[in-house]
Amino acid sequence: MSDDTPVVIIVEDEPDVAETYRLWLESDYEVRMAHSGDEGLDELDESADVVLLDRMMPGLSGDEVLARIRERGLGCRVAMVTAVEPDFDILEMGFDAYLCKPIKSEQLVETVENLLERSDYDDLLQEHYSLVEKRATLEAAKSNAELADNDEYLATKERLKELQDDLSETLGGIESDEDFIATLRGLDDPEG
């Protein structure tokens, strides 16, 4: 691997699961593994590009590791990879993607690729992507009535609308999520 190979850190307390993720990713990325939250924090430094973080681990939980990553100001993208069904508490969390176990290799690889791509975007785009991910995660897990009754969810939707309006003006009048994503992908691929 070269010096510019993206670094993916897997923080997962189940060794078989961590090893499976490593096998799926090792051909394209430098993969480091940690089997606890404390080990994960020890592995984390400025070289980390993506962290795949189990939410429920003995000792230091994934939620606590995520909070410390953000406190340190590390620029890595974080995907929660967990068996914990999402609840409204995710609206306060600083992750970039939320994957519910069990996951397939294609899903994991695609998530890592997307997070690496998003690392190139500025803070406004980062916030937009994070909110879109949280909204989609909750919409897949909660009923319309539950969503309509949650003030934090409604505030997240409103903030997302504000961001889309701001970004739409910047990028030339884009109206839908699909057009927005297509435009961003076009920016990434100057020949596209």
Share of the chain above pLDDT 90, in %: 54
CATH number of 7-120: 3.40.50.2300
Domain spans of the chain, in order of start: 7-120, 128-188
| Range in 20-29, 62-71, 115-124, 176-185 the model is least confident about | 176-185
pLDDT digits (tens, 9 = 90+) for 123-170: 677 788 889 989 999 999 999 999 999 999 999 999 998 888 877 766
Beta bridge partners of 34: 11
Question: Considering only CA atoms, which of 66, 22, 74, 65 is closest in space to residue 45?
Answer: 74
State the pTM of this model.
0.69
pLDDT of residue 190: 45
Q: Is the pLDDT score of 186 beyond 90?
A: no
- Give the integer Cα–Cα distance in Å for 158 and 155: 5
Q: Is the pLDDT score of 3 beyond 80?
A: no
Q: How far is CA 158 from CA 132, 144, 149, in A?
A: 12, 16, 14
Look over the chain and give the mean of its residue pLDDT values, rounded to a whole number.
Answer: 85
Beta bridge partners of 23: none
